[in-house]
Amino acid sequence: MDGLKVRRVWAALLLVWLILLAGCGGMPKEEAGEGYTVVDARGNEVYLPRPPRRILAANPGYDTILLGLVPPEYLAAVNIRDTDPEVSFIADEVKNITPQVREILNVPLEVIIQTKPDLIIVPGWVSADHVESYRQLGYPVLVCGKIKSMETLKENIRLIAKALRRETEGERIIAEMDRQLAETDAVLATLSGPKPVGMLVSQMKNFGGTGSMYDVLCTRARIENGIAKLGLKNGDPLSKELVVKANPDFFLVSGVRTVDLSGANEAHQRFLSDPALAGLPALQNIRIVSDRYIYCASQQCAYSVKALANAAYGRPLFDLSDEHLIKGYE
């Protein structure tokens, strides 16, 4: 759908929204206080009349960052994948939060109106037209940057923390991330020999090359990312022929998801049973790691590096029994 059509659709939805507001008495009055402005990753000035207390992100990474900054009751809704401990670091924290929805672009307008968010947070890949459509409905929208490195992740944590007036909490999160990563680096620096070559088995055939957070995690975990080794960038398709060419030391496969919205469980089985891969030694070295580590884009990446290293080297280099949500508040 082109930009003009999107604007027309949202204009019609805006009329419906105004009618609904008229019927229910309008949005709740804001608490008294001095407003402030935050500049998001696209350079947009986002005015907030007060620190948000009804935040809608509906994204596993951002929901995790949010819960490091504020208590669960500040979330207006959560992504349904947040409830699956195979995929999420916050399954226990969000189990009583409703509604549970899919990605922000798939959240129906009536649900957005129902949740009454005072801030919507969206990833950097969301189109400008969609962002503007939310703003036309009267909701402040904070666009975060694309997470491609530890630094861009930290920038997003700081941006969200600033929007919530939780800057101190944000710096505490980053400090704990850095502390854990430094300890992990020190252990990995004692290892010798070549880095093991790992090939990610993912239903997203164009995910995992250079420019992805997954590649950053592999590098930090002292793993040779087989996808990047082939010269593929994030977004480039990975064929079976290229997998054979890479001849990895092991296949990295996620565990069985409870909430499987994309058919990942079946996709993994189809991939590994393909006759084209039958002669690869890596089929004898299948390492299973939870999706929450593989696709991590939050402060919990400090644990992802440890989990990936444990899988790649086939032994418990790191104890994950004390894993917990990295928070900036008590």
Neighbours of 138 (CB within 10 A): 11
Write down the pLDDT at residue 108. Answer: 80
Task: Spell out the residues 6+ positions from residue 103 whose beta carbon is closer than 8 angstroms to its own.
Answer: 58, 59, 79
- 62-75: pLDDT as tens digits: 999 999 999 999 99
Among 185, 197, 217, 178, residue whose Cα is nearest residue 295: 217
Write down the pLDDT at residue 18. Answer: 43
State the DSSP code for 199. E
- Strands across the sheet containing 55-56: 55-56, 119-122, 141-143
Average pLDDT score over the chain: 88
Q: Which of 149-158, 173-182, 243-252, 266-275 has the lowest mean pLDDT?
A: 266-275
Query: Across-strand partners of 200?
Result: 252
What does the pLDDT average to over 24-28?
A: 38
14 membership: H or E segment, kind and range = helix 3-24
Answer for the pair 319, 309: CB distance below 8 angstroms, yes or no: no
- Residue 195 confidence (pLDDT) above 70: yes
State the DSSP code for 174. H
What does the pLDDT average to over 196-206?
A: 90
Residue 41 Ramachandran class (φ > 0 left, ψ -120 to 50 alpha, else beta) = alpha
What does the pLDDT average to over 34-61?
A: 96
- 146-162: pLDDT as tens digits: 999 999 999 999 999 99
Query: Which residue segments constitute the domains of the chain, with CATH numbers given?
Result: 15-25+33-177 (3.40.50.1980), 184-313 (3.40.50.1980)
Specify the higher pLDDT residue, 256 or 96: 96
Q: Which of 16-30, 37-51, 282-296, 307-321 has the lowest mean pLDDT?
A: 16-30
Peptide bond between residue 117 and the one before it cis (omega within 30 degrees of 0): no
Write down the pLDDT at residue 323. Answer: 96
Compute the C-alpha angle 256/261/66, nearest 5°: 90
Write down the pLDDT at residue 112. Answer: 87
- Residue 30 confidence (pLDDT) above 50: no
Write down the pLDDT at residue 20. Answer: 45
Query: Going by DSSP bridges, is the β-strand pair 224-225/119-122 parallel, antiparallel, or unpaired?
Result: unpaired
pTM metric for this prediction: 0.87
Name the amino acid, one letter, at 24.
Answer: C
Write down the pLDDT at residue 25. Answer: 35
- Residue 29 confidence (pLDDT) above 70: no
Q: What is the band of 119 on the pLDDT scale with cuts at 50, 70, 90? A: very high
What torsion do the CA atoms of 13, 139, 105, 296 make, to the nearest 10 degrees?
-170
- Residue 133 confidence (pLDDT) above 60: yes
Classify residue 241 by burial, with Cβ atoms within 10 Å: 0-12, 13-18, 19+.
exposed
Tokens representing 159? 């941006």
Write down the pLDDT at residue 19. Answer: 41
224 membership: H or E segment, kind and range = strand 224-225
Write down the pLDDT at residue 257. Answer: 61
What does the pLDDT average to over 244-273?
A: 79
The set of long-range contacts for 158-161, using a CB threshold of 8 Å and a minimum separation of 24, is 159/38, 159/40, 159/41, 160/62, 160/65, 160/66, 160/69, 160/121, 161/69, 161/328
- 85-118: pLDDT as tens digits: 999 999 999 999 999 998 777 778 888 889 999 9
Distance of alpha carbon 60 from alpha carbon 103, whole angstroms = 9
- Residue 42 confidence (pLDDT) above 60: yes
Distance of alpha carbon 143 from alpha carbon 159, whole angstroms = 9
